[in-house]
């Protein structure tokens, strides 16, 4: 039986698949409150020519969430990302009050969720976060392997080499 975490990660993976289909880095994100998806997004503008490091899935989802649900207590939100959040997204979500993060595939190159908060300034040092990794990892890994076969973003990077060296187990 599929766990609740897996159910929401499947929704994030759907977003990642749509990003991949559009030639974008395959990262998807859904934000959940009270057992329901309250925002969803995928990576935009990772493709050559229009590339920026702002339109990450989490930032887009968060912008939608605060616009559409300004009264929602973000401390009740769980974020599901198909790739470990980067430093920008993680810090942005922390500053916004989000404390619970679930992701599928580890970002060995640019992941930010291992940030030692206790070593930072007061605001961050007092934060208590809940982290859960490797939920549907193989599904997400598979999308990144697809991407790195042809994509130009982060090609030949540590993340690309690590990703292509992983073995995806065949589905029964």
Residues lying near Zn ion in the complex (CB under 5 A) are found at: 56, 86, 89
Which of the following is catalytic: 58, 84, 106, 139?
A: 58
Q: Are 83 and 43 in contact (CB under 8 A)?
A: no
The smaller minimum CB distance to Zn ion, of residues 32 and 41, is found at 41
Q: Are 151 and 48 in contact (CB under 8 A)?
A: no
Provide, rounded to whole angstroms, the least separation between the CB of residue 53 and Zn ion: 8
Mark whether 58 is an active-site residue: yes
Distance from chain centroid for Cα 119: 24
The smaller minimum CB distance to Zn ion, of residues 2 and 87, is found at 87
Longest dimension (CA), the chain: 49
107 SS3 class:
coil
39 SS3 class:
strand
Q: Are 134 and 141 in contact (CB under 8 A)?
A: no
- Report the first-to-last Cα separation within the chain, whole angstroms: 15
The smaller minimum CB distance to Zn ion, of residues 2 and 158, is found at 158
Provide, rounded to whole angstroms, the least separation between the CB of residue 59 and Zn ion: 7
Provide, rounded to whole angstroms, the least separation between the CB of residue 86 and Zn ion: 3
Would you please indicate which residues are annotated as catalytic (active-site) residues?
A: 58
């Amino acid at each position: 039986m599929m766990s609740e975490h897996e159910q929401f990660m499947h929704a994030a993976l759907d977003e990642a698949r749509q990003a991949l289909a559009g030639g974008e880095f395959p990262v998807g994100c859904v934000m959940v409150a009270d057992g329901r998806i309250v925002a969803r997004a995928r990576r935009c503008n990772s493709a050559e020519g229009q590339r920026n490091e702002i339109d990450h899935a989490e930032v887009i989802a968060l912008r939608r969430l605060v616009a559409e649900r300004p009264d929602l207590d973000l401390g009740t939100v769980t974020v599901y990302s198909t790739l470990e959040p980067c430093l920008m997204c993680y810090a942005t979500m922390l500053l916004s009050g989000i404390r619970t993060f679930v992701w599928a595939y580890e970002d060995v190159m640019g992941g930010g969720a291992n940030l030692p908060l206790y070593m930072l300034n007061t605001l961050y040092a007092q934060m208590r976060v809940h982290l859960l990794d490797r939920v549907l990892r193989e599904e997400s890994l598979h999308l990144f392997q697809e991407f790195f076969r042809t994509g130009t973003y982060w090609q030949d990077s540590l993340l690309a080499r690590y990703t292509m060296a992983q073995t995806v187990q065949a589905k029964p």
